Amino acid sequence: MDLDLSDDQVALRDGISSMLAARVPMERVRAGFDRALFDDLAAAGVFSLRADGFSWADCVVVFEQLGRYCVPGPLVASLLLGDGRIAGAAIDSQPMWIEHLDELDVFLVGGMDDVRVVDPRAIVADRSPWPLDPCTPIARVEVLPEGMPFGVERRNWELAGVTLTAALQLGLADRLTELAVSYAKERVQFDRPIGSFQAIKHMLADMLTRTEVARAAVYSAGAVLDEMPTAWTRRRLTHGAKVVAGDAAITNGKAATQIFGGMGFTWEVDVHLYLKRAWVLDTHFDSADRNAELVCLTAGDPRIWGES
């Protein structure tokens, strides 16, 4: 398996990064969900990548950049829907929390075996006045409408969602490392940049290591979705990628906050937004503990997944 980006993927990465740098400054991120931004992303083909013939590995490259710029909104579900509408997604459980409910065109629900489509206007929910991520409004739902079949298996839908979420987490981890390194070069204490202190060097080195390990795991997950090996292998690598990338995003967020010192907790500094987004994404497509449990299961008997 070749995890190096092809020339086309490098061009895709650089192109989406340039677009996001121009259109998604942190001021726009802090404003929360922006329908005009989503329309821009849709026009650029972000949510129709699969329909346009791009591979899952290509989608991972794009979603890594969306994570780097902390783009708000239901990104993963909108790509899974694939037709330009704004979509939310959740694994069926009662009660549940739904993000961006007031902005959704469609809501996808993963049941035991299938995926259903629910009209968000038919959902009765209580909005939370204080969401963990200020850019991600949430609503609590006790009972969901039945909905209509979406026409895909939950297994394939879920593995794609897990992988794309892990790509967002990788982007967060990467950007947090970049922010911490930049600050450590500029912040002077005792007449020296704090980046020259051994303790800070070790923290930054650990951040980079976590990011690169996560990158290998996430790129592997995207590759196996395309190469279609056994479901056993796909599950092991996709769920493993989410565990590793989720840990990298959260741990790097905490480390970056520590490196920034007291400023890291303030509204004016961006790192706390990345950390909060990392905490939120860690709950998507099951918790880190559940994904780790699924990795352990796939290390056992493949007959668990219906394979000989």
Q: pLDDT category, 231, cuts 50, 70, 90? A: confident
Residue 287 in contact with residue 246, Cβ under 8 Å?
Answer: no
In the predicted model, is pLDDT for residue 86 greater than 70?
A: yes
Q: What is the pLDDT of residues 169-216, one digit of tens each?
A: 999 999 999 999 999 999 988 989 988 999 999 999 999 999 999 999
Query: Span 240-266, mean pLDDT?
Result: 94
Query: Span 12-39, mean pLDDT?
Result: 94
The confidence score (pLDDT) of residue 301 equals 58
Nearest by Cα to 165 from 273, 48, 34, 278: 278
Of residues 16 and 113, which shows the higher confidence score?
16
The confidence score (pLDDT) of residue 308 equals 45
- Residues 231-241, buried b or exposed e (16+ Cβ, 10 A)? bbbbbbbbbbb
The confidence score (pLDDT) of residue 307 equals 55
Nearest by Cα to 44 from 60, 28, 23: 23
Residue 162 in contact with residue 116, Cβ under 8 Å?
Answer: no
How many C-beta neighbours within 10 Å does residue 103 have?
Answer: 17
In the predicted model, is pLDDT for residue 53 greater than 60?
A: yes
CATH topology for 154-305 is: Butyryl-CoA Dehydrogenase, subunit A; domain 3 (1.20.140)
The confidence score (pLDDT) of residue 52 equals 93
How many C-beta neighbours within 10 Å does residue 23 have?
Answer: 16
| Mean pLDDT, all residues of the chain | 91
Q: pLDDT category, 1, cuts 50, 70, 90? A: low
Query: Span 219-225, mean pLDDT?
Result: 94
In the predicted model, is pLDDT for residue 142 greater than 80?
A: yes
In the predicted model, is pLDDT for residue 114 greater than 90?
A: no
pTM, entire model = 0.93
Residue 74 in contact with residue 87, Cβ under 8 Å?
Answer: yes
Query: Span 95-99, mean pLDDT?
Result: 90
Instruction: Give the whole-number percent of the chain exceeding pLDDT 70.
Output: 95
The confidence score (pLDDT) of residue 168 equals 98
Domain ranges of the chain: 7-80, 85-153, 154-305
C-alpha–C-alpha distance, residues 109 and 117, integer Å: 6
Instruction: Give the whole-number percent of the chain exceeding pLDDT 90.
Output: 69
Q: pLDDT category, 229, cuts 50, 70, 90? A: low
Q: CA separation (Å) from 69 to 116, 187, 218, 273?
A: 31, 23, 18, 11
